[in-house]
Amino acid sequence: MSKSQPRQVDIAIVGGGLVGASLALALRGSGLCIAVIEAFTPTAPEHPSYDDRTLVLNPVSCQILSRLGIAASLEQYGVPINSIHVSDRGHFGRVLLQARQHGLEWFGRVMEAWRLGQALLQQAQNCEQVHWLSPVRLNTIRSFDGGIELALDGADKLTTRLLVGADGAGSRVRELLHLPATQHDYQQTAIICNATPSKAHNGMAYERFTDTGPLALLPQAGQRVGVVWTVATDQAGSLLTLSDSEFLDGLQRRFGHRLGEFQRVGKRANYPLKLVRAETNTAHRSVLIGNASHTIHPISAQGFNLGLRDASTLANQLSNQTDPGTADLLQAYQLRRQPDQDETIRYTDSLARLYSNDSITGKLLRTSGLLAHQFIPALQRRLVLNAMGYRDHVG
Ligand SMILES: Cc1cc2nc3c(=O)[nH]c(=O)nc-3n(C[C@H](O)[C@H](O)[C@H](O)COP(=O)(O)OP(=O)(O)OC[C@H]3O[C@@H](n4cnc5c(N)ncnc54)[C@H](O)[C@@H]3O)c2cc1C
């Protein structure tokens, strides 16, 4: 990774978050000259991508990430999920999925975002063809026949033959390209933290639907669990200002005693939840990937997994290309990614709406859905395959 700035590159990736960094790594060995433009220095405590959230990485993502050279970090820090317990607080019906019953060693691995970011950056440091420009912010763009000129805050102008927008939900690239996006505000906020219960999690992940929203507990190193607690946005403020012991009491009431008593809790952070979807992902010598293209509800732990499949497919299509920004190539990319994106977004959005619907019909649907999944193997299989990301596995 070089910090010097070239004047001209083949590919400029705006956004060095988890998806942008993955794409840069996936392109090493392609012979293309790449610039990553990132607004924050990698170690900045306020870095919006490399933070404390715990990510579930499905098996397809683990395979892709291993090919990017971070197998050792995944093995060392990625805690395997060997069973998943889904329940609805106060209602009959639950699903228990065991990896071994589905012929698997594990369903996925849980890793903190900052640790994953660090592992990706360590690999990027060995790539001479990747110029990592940070803290540098994209300001404006100007299109011309064979490329795009980028005006940057914090660096000189740069021209590129392909512009990749990997700059997250509020994408500046999407805005500058005038690509329309549909948005839906779930009026929900995810509160995340680490907590330590008195009983061992034994590699089980819990998803519990409660009257205030879904609550996920993900296994972490030692006895700790990563908590993702989704509540109505107008309730989030009070949960954030509770003392640690009041917060733990609330968590205990919502989750119950499957893991014994909650004893300790770490720093809390919050994320307002929206669905943002670009109606088109490509324009003249430009493409959107990751959250810039689709930001989804975390209920099914799919956002990064989906974005990583974007990066992997795009890198595959760009290999052995003399011109990385042709309309044909971008159209082929869009066609290839569309079904996976559509399906993942539809699945996640319908789950998010079903589990925040407090009507009698909504509750009945949830209970019958959970019961059906418990007793009908084909439905369980579908749930497992959806969760694991085997939709657009590019091999
Ligand atoms: C509570 C929660 C839990 C989640 N859990 C999971 C999970 O278990 N599994 C999963 O797969 N996904 C999960 N996700 C989703 C996942 O975190 C995101 O999908 C993923 O991090 C998106 O990565 P990204 O690189 O596309 O975007 P971002 O992380 O938003 O990165 C964008 C980058 O672009 C930079 N940037 C922005 N504008 C500019 C500019 N003008 N110039 C230069 N740089 C710029 C930013 O600084 C940032 O580094 C979760 C999300 C939340 C909120």
Q: What is the pLDDT of residues 173-195, one digit of tens each?
A: 999 999 999 999 999 999 999 99
315 lines ligand 1 (CB under 6 A): no
Residue 178 Cα to ligand 1 midpoint, Å, equals 21
Instruction: Give pLDDT, residue 289.
Output: 98
**Whether residue 305 has its Cβ less than 6 Å from ligand 1:** yes
Determine the residue type at 351: L
What whole-number percentage of the chain has pLDDT above 90? Answer: 71
pLDDT at 55 over 60: yes
- List the residue whose alpha carbon is closest to atom 15 of ligand 1: 303
d(CA 320, CA 30): 7
Rounded to 5 degrees, φ, ψ at 296 are -125, 165
What does each C-alpha distance from 275 to 336, 345, 351 come to in angstroms? 22, 9, 13
Burial of 32 (0-12, 13-18, 19+ CB in 10 A): buried
For domain 8-52+113-182+279-353, the question of CATH label 3.40.630.10 is answered with no
C-alpha 256 to ligand 1 mean position (Å): 31
d(CA 231, CA 237): 10
Question: pLDDT (tens digit, 9 = 90+) per residue, 77-102?
Answer: 999 999 988 887 666 567 788 889 88
pLDDT of residue 383: 61
State residue 393's pLDDT score: 45
Mean pLDDT across 289-318: 95
When pLDDT is cut at 50, 70 and 90, the band that residue 49 belongs to is confident
Let me know if the fold of 8-52+113-182+279-353 is the same as that of 72-112+185-273.
Answer: no
Ligand 1 near 138 CB (within 6 A): yes
Burial status of residue 361 (CB atoms within 10 A of its CB: 0-12, 13-18, 19 or more): exposed
With a 6 Å cutoff on the Cβ, whether 213 touches ligand 1 is: no
Backbone φ/ψ region at 200: left (φ over 0), alpha (ψ -120 to 50), beta = beta
More confident residue, 359 or 88: 88
Determine the CATH number of domain 72-112+185-273. Answer: 3.30.9.10
Average pLDDT score over residue span 122-139 = 93
Q: Ligand 1 atom closest to Cα of 289?
A: 26
Q: 35 with 3: CB under 8 angstroms?
A: no
Degrees, nearest 5: CA angle 211-216-219? 155
Ligand 1 in reach of 266 Cβ (< 6 A): no
Q: Specify the long-range contacts of residues 175-178, CB closer than 8 Å, at least 24 apart.
A: 176/138, 176/140, 176/141, 177/141, 177/283, 177/286, 178/283
Computed over every residue of the chain, the mean pLDDT equals 89
Q: Is 78 a pocket residue for ligand 1 (Cβ < 6 Å)?
A: no
- Minimal-distance CA residue to ligand 1 atom 38: 167
Q: Where are the domains of the chain?
A: 8-52+113-182+279-353, 72-112+185-273
At residue 378, what are phi and psi to the nearest 5 degrees? -65, -35
The label of the residue with tokens 């805690």 reads 79
Question: What residue's CA is closest to ligand 1, atom 41?
Answer: 138
Q: pTM of the prediction? A: 0.93
Q: Please identify, by atom number, the ligand 1 atom nearest to the C-alpha of residue 37.
A: 43
Tell me if 55 CB under 6 Å of ligand 1: yes
Give the Å distance between the CA of 384 and the centre of ligand 1.
24
Average pLDDT over residues 29-58: 91
- What is the distance between the alpha carbons of residues 335 and 341, in angstroms, rounded to a whole number? 10
Which one is predicted more confidently, 350 or 9? 9
Could you give the CA distance from residue 166 to residue 340 in angstroms, rounded to a whole number? 18
- The residue nearest atom 27 of ligand 1, judged by CA position, is 168
pLDDT at 290: 98
